[in-house]
A and B are shown apart, each in its own frame.
Chain A
Amino acid sequence: MDKLKILVVDDEFGIRSGVKRILEKFEVDYPFMDEAIAFEVMEAETGEIAVEMIKSDFYNIVLLDNKLPGMQGVEVLEFINSQQIDSKVIMITSYASLELAVKATKHGAIDFVPKPFTPQELRASIENITKQLFLKKMTTKLQKEGKQIRFQFLSLLSHELKSPVNAVEGYLKIIKEQKNGDKVTDYMPMIERSIERLDAMRGMILDLLDLTKIESGQAKRNPVPVDIGEVAKTCVATLNPLAIQKDVNIYLNYNTKIIYEFDVNDLEIVFNNIFSNAVKYNKNGGRVDCTIREIENNIEIIIADTGIGISNDDQAKLFNEFVRIKNKETSKIPGSGLGLSIVKKILDNYNADILLESEVNIGTNVKIILKK
């Protein structure tokens, strides 16, 4: 549990022990907070002691009596302010003169509690400040994380876009210098590779647009009851040329019409990405089996391939952006590294799960669970 440290500065023993008793049993809770916030109360009898304690330790909140035997409360406040210590200060005061209030506010006190106070008044003031502190902390944290993620994404993106540009440029320079002969045919493999790299780059840009739409929530989703098997069939047809090239057969298995509310476009993106992975990373003469079935209250879509498989280490990072598993088998297969990250984001919108099982050289099973 998170604990905030409070320092109560008052020369009256009764006030100090009262504050301690009230606050150490108190917790502040927000519906969206993981845990309640509790308090640890330390005491200082004089302003001088308080200043020493504040020098050596950080207190989130300082409860400060103004009228102290030596150094006055306002002076302690001035000290906190001059040292730029980020403690929130609440003044406890019996004579709430306007003059004092103005002076204290000027030096950063954020609340006043009249003396004597009821436990209720103290708790209200503390609760208020705690919530402010919590929100401030969360905002800072979220801003930091947001910036970090954006930076990582952009560096990966520029790297991934530069690689095909470099590859194509490299071929063009070799062709320009006529290093491999003086006929166009001498350069055919280089030209073909350049076209492949450019195709892959276009694919990545399209994937990026999908991803941006999904993330910004701009994609207009229009969930309607769809026949999942039918959509799968369309996607298989689209992929057939690639499958024929690789000599991979795709089989669809479902007995009855299975209907689920899904945006057709979204479902096509999901199927296309998973099917194309299952074909691209398959072996020549391999197969892909797609089974769609209802189990209890769920719909399961299982896409199993007989491909090269994914090692356990690699499986862990698979759903991140720009992740491409690099090895001998995959080095010539084009891909954006965005497909599964897109699939995951779409399925998240439908509260659906995606699970992956894979064994190197045996194949990969992808299971999607749609909850009814």
Chain B
Amino acid sequence: MNKNITVLIADDDFDYLFQMRFRLESAGFDVISASSQKEAEQLIEIGGFDAAVFDLMMENDDSGFVLAYKTKKAFPSIPVVLSTAVTAETGYNFENDSSWVKADLYLEKGVESERIAEELNKLLKM
């Protein structure tokens, strides 16, 4: 299952990054990871991944948006997931924003994290 599919993940929370790597690797994905927007940008330039999961708030409040945009610009067909804990408190309305922020899916951190592998599979099949 998921042979040779590489997922780029970025999150500045050490534990969250670990858990995501753990879940994705258990599901058979290969994982490359970045712990900041800056690191992730370097990895996007190098390329070589088939899907991406970005945390929204890292060095900047909109780090995830920037990374999603850059990924989609370089690799339009790669699915991008934004994982975030901030929906409730900032009132970002993802429904409306999705017209310009090119992410395929928003996952709420914590609540939905165990669905990450499953959701990626769905997106990759499309």
A residues apposed to B, CB below 8 Å: 154-155, 158-159, 162-163, 165-167, 169-171, 173-174, 177, 179-180, 193, 197, 326-328, 331-332
Determine the chain B residues whose CB is within 8 A of the CB of A162 once the complex forms: 85, 109-110
A174–B110 CB distance below 8 A: no
Chain B at the A interface: SS class? helix
A170–B36 CB distance below 8 A: no
Determine the chain A residues whose CB is within 8 A of the CB of B86 once the complex forms: 155, 159
Is B118 part of the contact surface with A, judged by Cβ < 8 Å?
Answer: no
B110–A170 CB distance below 8 A: yes
Determine the chain A residues whose CB is within 8 A of the CB of B109 once the complex forms: 162, 166
CA distance A328 to B15 in the complex (A): 13
B16–A170 CB distance below 8 A: yes
Q: Known interface pairs A166-B113, A327-B36, A328-B35. Does A171 touch B89 (Cβ–Cβ under 8 Å)?
A: no
B110–A166 CB distance below 8 A: yes
Q: Tell me the count of chain B residues lying within 8 A, CB to CB, of chain A.
A: 24
Which 7 pairs of residues, A with B, have the shortest CB-CB distance?
A166-B110, A167-B15, A170-B19, A155-B89, A158-B89, A162-B85, A331-B14
A169–B36 CB distance below 8 A: no
A174–B85 CB distance below 8 A: no
Determine the chain A residues whose CB is within 8 A of the CB of B35 once the complex forms: 328, 331
- Between A and B, how many residue pairs show CB distances below 8 Å? 58
Interface centre among B13, B14, B15, B59 (most CB of A within 10 A): B15
Is B90 part of the contact surface with A, judged by Cβ < 8 Å?
Answer: yes
B113–A170 CB distance below 8 A: yes
What is the chain B residue whose CB lies nearest that of A155? B89
The smallest beta-carbon distance between A237 and chain B, in angstroms, is 30
11 further A-B contacts with Cβ under 8 Å, apart from A155-B86, A163-B85, A179-B23, are: A155-B89, A163-B13, A165-B110, A166-B110, A167-B13, A177-B114, A179-B22, A193-B18, A197-B15, A326-B36, A331-B14
B16–A167 CB distance below 8 A: yes
Q: List 9 A-B contacts (CB under 8 A).
A: A163-B13, A166-B13, A166-B85, A170-B19, A170-B113, A174-B19, A174-B23, A326-B12, A332-B14
Determine the chain A residues whose CB is within 8 A of the CB of B89 once the complex forms: 154-155, 158-159
The residues in B between 67 and 126 inclusive whose CB is less than 8 angstroms from any CB of A are 85-86, 88-90, 109-110, 113-114
What is the chain B residue whose CB lies nearest that of A156? B89
What is the chain A residue whose CB lies nearest that of B15? A167
What is the chain A residue whose CB lies nearest that of B26? A179
Determine the chain A residues whose CB is within 8 A of the CB of B12 once the complex forms: 326, 331
CA distance A171 to B85 in the complex (A): 17
Is B57 part of the contact surface with A, judged by Cβ < 8 Å?
Answer: yes
The smallest beta-carbon distance between A179 and chain B, in angstroms, is 5
The smallest beta-carbon distance between A16 and chain B, in angstroms, is 53
A169–B110 CB distance below 8 A: yes
B19–A171 CB distance below 8 A: yes
The smallest beta-carbon distance between A322 and chain B, in angstroms, is 11
Determine the chain A residues whose CB is within 8 A of the CB of B88 once the complex forms: 158
Determine the chain A residues whose CB is within 8 A of the CB of B15 once the complex forms: 167, 170-171, 193, 197
A159–B85 CB distance below 8 A: yes
The smallest beta-carbon distance between B23 and chain A, in angstroms, is 7
